[in-house]
Amino acid sequence: MISADILSTNFVIIVLLASVTPMLVKKFYDPSRKYIGYQKRSILHAKLNENLRIIGCIHVPRNVNNIINLLASSCLTKESPITLDVLHLVKLTGRATPLLITHSKNSKTMPTKSYSENVILAFNQFERDNWGALFVNIFIAISPPNLMYEDVCNLAMKQLTTFMILPFHRRWYIDGSIESEDASIRNLNCQMLERAPCSVGILVEGRQTTKCSNSKSIEISSSLPSLDRIVVIFLGGKDDREALALAKRMSQDQEVNITVIHLKDANSYGATLVDSEKMLDDETLRFMKQTTYITYIEQYVNEGTETLNYLKSIVDDFQLIIVGRRYKKEDSRTSGLEEWSEFEEIGVLGDLLASSDFCANFSLLIVQQQLRI
């Protein structure tokens, strides 16, 4: 017969094990680490003449034109081809079983959702228009919103993806007011920024407005026919170098006008301090400075307010702005801007340019270089 003391001791041990074990498992085992890349999967480390593998995620039909417009400006040639894996993400409803459907070009059947059919037709036409330079594969993932990141990561691992494009979670009406905000899309984007096995781009679509405070009335098409006036805002760091690598690939198409604006700290003018990050920045910038068909501009700013005012003065000149994410990077050039950030996951400059303070005709791409162990 078990005594009361032994029974009490066993009960305490069971309670402690039941409490401590889950915490230890959570601390020392992270299943998402399997997605973190051990191999270099970034545009910066890819050769200009090799097949660049990209995933484009689609939530709603409007995402289709935005991704097509971006890729159409990415120098699609037979010498510099792109393989595009289109992943149409559909929220699972009810008790249906999660599915990943691979669309075959030879299939005569179409998905039941009408806009899935439109996605397939649009990208197949895009492939035909760039025959030999673009290879399109289309997938449809039907899963719960909290598990969508697994579909994206697994596909990226399987397809050896270098870069993935994710739509921003906020969209605008043609008058500039907010059309919708999808919290599940924002959550997915945050998960991908933390776990993606390759570089990531968050694409903020252009907006159309007829009235803007602090600005003259303008009319903008929400779907641009081409993005041929592109600027990279460069501050430094690995994410900004990844943004430059994308611009370098785009610059191979000389019909696309690329501008690189290097925002430099006015307080460090004339400083001779050199570190490893600055050496890497200078090496990446060297190509941009030497290429005659890329416009390189150096602009000195003292603080965040000067950066804000300068960006407001140039945004009307461009159709696409590319910035590095630079997550939680403290910098005198953006000092004070962090306090007003609404979506910190896209970085200070990304959040600033996506805000209502910038009512102009441009799309925005926030780039994060691959996270590696």
Residues 124 and 136 sit within 8 Å (Cβ to Cβ): yes
- Tokens (6 digits) for 221: 């098409």
In a domain, 176, yes or no: yes
Answer yes or no: do 188 and 289 share one domain. no
pLDDT tens for 194-250 read 999 999 999 998 765 444 444 433 332 334 456 789 999 999 999 999 999 999 999
Domain that holds residue 274: 229-364
Residues 352 and 326 sit within 8 Å (Cβ to Cβ): no
Residue that finishes a domain, picked among 204, 239, 268: 204
In a domain, 311, yes or no: yes
In a domain, 342, yes or no: yes
Measured CA to CA, the distance from residue 340 to residue 298 in angstroms comes to: 26
Count CB-CB contacts under 10 A for residue 129. 12
In a domain, 294, yes or no: yes
- In this structure, what DSSP letter does residue 174 have? T
Answer yes or no: do 253 and 120 share one domain. no
CA dihedral 348, 340, 182, 160 (to 10 degrees): 10
Which CATH number goes with the domain that contains 98? 3.40.50.620
Answer yes or no: do 71 and 197 share one domain. yes
In a domain, 23, yes or no: no
Answer yes or no: do 187 and 296 share one domain. no
- Number of domains, the chain: 2
In a domain, 20, yes or no: no
Measured CA to CA, the distance from residue 225 to residue 228 in angstroms comes to: 10
In a domain, 19, yes or no: no
What pTM value is reported for the model?
Answer: 0.84
In a domain, 43, yes or no: yes
Answer yes or no: do 107 and 157 share one domain. yes
Q: What is the pLDDT of residue 308?
A: 92
- Which positions ≥6 away from 245 have C-beta within 8 Å? 42, 43, 44, 46, 284
Measured CA to CA, the distance from residue 298 to residue 301 in angstroms comes to: 10
Count CB-CB contacts under 10 A for residue 100. 13
Using 50 as the pLDDT threshold, list the residues of the chain that sit under it. Answer: 209-224
Q: What is the pLDDT of residue 211?
A: 46
pLDDT tens for 301-333 read 988 899 999 999 999 899 999 999 988 887 889
Answer yes or no: do 233 and 86 share one domain. no
